[in-house]
Chain A
Amino acid sequence: MAGAIIENMSTMKLCIVGGILFVFQIVAFLVGGLIAPDPTSVLHSTATKCIDVQKNHHKTKWFMPWGPNQCEKISSFDEALKRQIEANDIVFAVHIPFISKEMSPWFQFMLSIMQLDIAFKSNNFIQDNATVTLDVTMAYRNDLNGKWIELAHSLEQRKLKCKLPTPKTQVTEGQYYECDLIPLMELGSVAHKYYLVNIRLPVNERKKINIGIGEIKDLKLTTIFQNGGFTKVWFAMKTFLTPSILIIMVWYWRRITMMTRSPILLEKIIFALGISMTFINIPVEWFSIGFNWTWMLLFGDIRQGIFYAMLLSFWIVFCGEHMMDQSERNHFSRYWKQVGPIAFGSCCLFIFDMCERGVQLKNPFYSIWATDVGTELAMAFIIVAGICACLYFGFLCFMVFQVFRNISGKRSKLPAMSKTRRLHYEGLIFRFKFFMLITLACAALSVIFFITSQVNEGPWTWDETTVQVNSAFFTGIYGMWNLYVFALMFLYAPSHKNYGDDQSNGDLRVNSAEELQLTTTITHADGPTEVFRLAGKEAQE
């Protein structure tokens, strides 16, 4: 029985492997930065104000802002006032996208945000805790001359959170409020070419519906969707990564099954990590081009959630299995204290996501944040998940600290050992620390790029070359975690060097490995020497 590949590999080979992985990492960044466009596009539309002239709503239900059969419009509400048009007869119409463009399934998702331009009037101002009630309908068609087909219809309420930048005086009349964005809808697939949104703001004095919301001047819709080019690059990357991880997974598992002993916990969890990575990688999104699968967005969230949960669990187990104390491990149940928060936190986020994006499958205009109860519930889920995350990182940091303390403890005993042995153990510790470092570097890089993407605005340009930083961030980080999982499976696979009788160059290793095997599997209860225990753990993995 031998150790993992990482122990038996010479430093040079390790450097070569590291170098190759680094090259792939750079390629992942460049693919996003140079080939792909920005990940998302934004479409600004100001709604056209249509009047519902025919009182019988049968003739045509849809109000088009332009083109043939366009609605009767007004340019401003002052005109409506003169013509004695009521608020209930006004329909805000938005066509997505603009004239002469069409949407495409490559856009993957589409979400719309509404903004109201509300002017301050001393006799008509926004009251505290104002809510606006929207009667929204959405329709689609795939042919410019075709009929509109209803996609969704809903009566929605949204809170109006606005403030006036200047004090409320006579002078500031006509000034616009600064309002928070109002999320309007979210579609998990863009299967059709043309979309039409009709919004009414019905007024009912008796029921206090849409009363005290100020004087609305304009309704703007901002639509965000993924860029087709980014989708293509992303799919290509997934399609390339899936077989790579799959092959290394098969290779890894074959090596483990070739051994006489049953796989240990660390090996199992690495394999599970590989599975969850493959689960993310498998490019099922290709189907979204042909089929109208609105649940793709939710499914993507779930896949990512599973991977994150797996990665966090792996880190805990990785540290625990290097703890080097006498207690019996090698059982997942021993980590319930640390894994518990992960499971609980993920469940909370899952329920939250189901409440938001799950319900949106039925009603794209739904938002959990629209109602007070919903907001509290959502906040509760998020806070609990946040607490779980804090707990987890507390445990993780403590465990890492323990491992390093143990290692430094072992290190102080190293000078007492013979030279060859000492070199060997020093190498072991170095490689363990090396891997910890890689993990930290990956995490740090993710955080740095995350922060950069939050601060960054638009692409960076170096003489004529435009680098899409946001796309590079996505592909780079995605590639990085794939490489991380790949490297884990490769370096932590059982080494084949000591199979059979190949003892010519592995004398020391085999001997020590055998010894250590004894100490860890048989005599751990009576406390083997510390050095042996350290090496034993390493060897076993």
Chain B
Amino acid sequence: MRSGLQLSAPATLCLLQPLLLLQVSAYFGLTGREVLTHLSLPRQGATSTKLHLKQCDLLTLSRKQKRLCRKEPGLAEVLRDAIRLGVMECQYQFRNERWNCSLDGRTELLKGGFKETGFLYAVSSAALSHSLAKACSSGRLERCTCDDSPDLENQKAWQWGVCGDNIKYSTRFLKNFLGQKKIGKDLRAKVDIHNTKMGIKAVKNGLKTTCKCHGVSGSCAVRTCWKQLSPFHEIGRLLKTKYDNAVKVFSATNDATGHSELVGPQAHGHSSRLPRSTDLVYMEDSPNFCRRSTYSPGTAGRSCSKETNCDSMCCGRGHNTRSRMVTFSCHCQVQWCCHVECQQCMQEEEVYTCKR
């Protein structure tokens, strides 16, 4: 142990708080309008077949999804990871907004057609797509490439070199996994499907191409390129931008085909345009989320930052100011993993919270 450190805290400290506990309720993709419970299952022993079947049962899934889940031993865990990832990212992106993506009132929100509903659909499908691709690369799923073929053919295709990559697989799998839903005639079903596809697309568009040269003497005469997933924060940020610029849509009947389709707002007297596949779409204007309602717990008691968002977050009710001493770690000795040796420093800090 190092000497001469004042106020040294020899015990290894937590670097990260567990971001949230997921016992309450969470929402999963297009599985349905119900809430999902029992997320705090033990992670160990996920390989044991019995356990994974049990996990599949615990997840709220449609019959087809359940069958897919049972078929692939690692899938239940991936689905759970996807939920966690989606929820965490949503809360991170909305940490400074009136609606903070809380789990309270989620069920009601999902029944509406708000911007927030759209974001939830998009972020959950994006998280699922991202988690699937990631799980493939860590060997947690068995059928990642060359899937849906008998074993011998499978090995042959793999040796010949026609198997797709993880991302191709995850997109194809998702189409199968989420595509079971009857395509409803109503506007809301269309909006939901649009936003789900948009989330998957956001992951696809966020792929970065990386190349490596390995020709004669390492020259670029032979070069191999591949696509890489961006960190999920980047996709979350992109979706948030889409949320900010979301497009309100109506249902209209296409005269040519006779089918109804989504139509955007009328722009400058021109005929209304179709929303792009990368737009987030919604039908109803959002509630303001200021006061406690069926949709959210309201903003009372939320902490805000004075310079930026207190006025808007507190909905004009004003804020309380409180000063307190906070201790924080400083002059740290850290290693790349699992070891932090810090001094404790104190600082006075002003905390602002929204009034009731």
A interface residues, Cβ below 8 angstroms from B: 37-42, 44-48, 65-66, 70, 75, 77-78, 80-82, 84-87, 90, 95, 97-102, 104, 106, 111, 113, 117, 121, 123-124, 174-176, 181, 183, 186, 201, 203, 205, 210-211, 213-216, 220, 222, 224, 227-230, 232, 300-301, 304-305, 349, 352-353, 356-357, 450, 453-454, 457
Contacts and interface: CB of A to CB of B under 8 A. Distances in A.
Contact of B336 (A47, A87, A227): A87
B137 A228 contact: no
B338 A77 contact: yes
Given A38-B161, A41-B161, A228-B159, A100 B142 contact: yes
A44 B334 contact: no
A203 B340 CA distance: 13
B338 A66 contact: no
A99 B142 contact: yes
The 6 closest A-B pairs by CB, nearest first: A227-B161, A229-B160, A37-B161, A228-B159, A46-B138, A42-B226
A300 B332 CA distance: 52
Contact of A44 (B166, B220, B231): B166
B240 interface: no
B43 interface: yes
B225 interface: yes
A430 B212 CA distance: 44
For this complex, into which size category does the number of interface residues on chain B fall?
A: 35 or more
Nearest to B210: A181
B67 interface: no
Contacts of A87: 335-339
Interface stretch (B9-17, B56-64, B266-274): B9-17
A207 B231 CA distance: 33
B66 interface: no
Interface string B146-158: 1000010011001
Interface in B301-355: 329-330, 332-340, 342
A203 B336 contact: yes
Given A44-B136, A98-B144, A111-B214, 7 more contacts: A38-B161, A45-B137, A84-B338, A85-B338, A86-B339, A98-B142, A227-B160
B23 to A, nearest CB: 18
Contacts of A41: 161, 163
Contacts of A203: 335-336, 339
Given A44-B137, A201-B336, A454 B220 contact: yes
Most buried by B among A42, A47, A48: A42
Interface string B205-230: 00001101010111011111110100
10 contacts: A41-B163, A44-B136, A44-B166, A48-B138, A66-B47, A78-B16, A124-B334, A205-B333, A228-B161, A352-B217
B336 A210 contact: yes
A123 B337 CA distance: 13
A420 B138 CA distance: 77
B139 interface: yes
Given A352-B217, A353-B217, A175 B334 contact: no
B11 to A, nearest CB: 9
A453 B338 CA distance: 44
A69 B221 CA distance: 42
B336 A213 contact: yes
B162 interface: yes
Contacts of A39: 222, 224
A101 B141 CA distance: 12
Contacts of B162: 37, 229
A301 B217 contact: yes
B276 interface: no
B161 A216 contact: no
A44 B170 CA distance: 14
Contact of A216 (B16, B47, B214, B337): B337
A190 to B, nearest CB: 11
Contacts of B158: 97, 101
A98 B142 CA distance: 8
Contacts of A47: 138
Interface in B6-45: 12, 14-16, 18, 43
A316 B118 CA distance: 68
B153 to A, nearest CB: 13
B51 to A, nearest CB: 15
Contact of A98 (B139, B225, B336, B340): B139
B226 A44 contact: yes
